[in-house]
Amino acid sequence: MASDANLANEFFQVKRHGDVAVIVPSPQVEDLPETLLQPAAEMVLAPLKEDPPNNIIVDLSAVTYFGSAFITFLLRCHHLLAARGSELVLAGVNPNIRELLRITNLEMYWALYDSASEAISALSSSD
């Protein structure tokens, strides 16, 4: 079985743009069971806790749907940043995920952008 670090690298990429971190989940995250999503998410979040960005963008452009385990991951990121007065935003959100966020009443937590580059521009100009 793959180590947690390999699991995190396989299912998530983290890119830094100055003081903004962009988390890019792969499409395979849709099928990742909660028992594996949790350790992968913790591996992704660990370096962000050590060197916290001002803002996090989760780029969902490659993801068509997700379940409660991924929502838990988003909420963990949100709480990590909210405690510091920073922001989590979502980019590349398709209509299905927008509807899921609306139905679960989570759309009020995160600004939604059409693309990661649009979110980076918006967050960079708000600093």
For position 54, which CATH number holds? 3.30.750.24
Q: Look at the block and give the residue holding tokens 């050590």.
A: 50
- State the Cα–Cα distance between residues 15 and 7, nearest whole angstrom: 17
Q: How many domains does the chain have?
A: 1
What is the predicted pLDDT for the residue at 50?
81
What does each C-alpha distance from 42 to 67, 80, 87, 88, 117 come to in angstroms?
17, 12, 19, 16, 25
What is the predicted pLDDT for the residue at 1?
43
Strands 87-91 and 111-113: parallel
What is the predicted pLDDT for the residue at 121?
92
Mean pLDDT by runs of 10 across the 127 residues of the chain is: 59 88 89 77 79 90 88 84 86 93 91 94 77
pTM reported for the whole predicted model: 0.86
What is the predicted pLDDT for the residue at 48?
78
Range of the domain at 61: 4-126
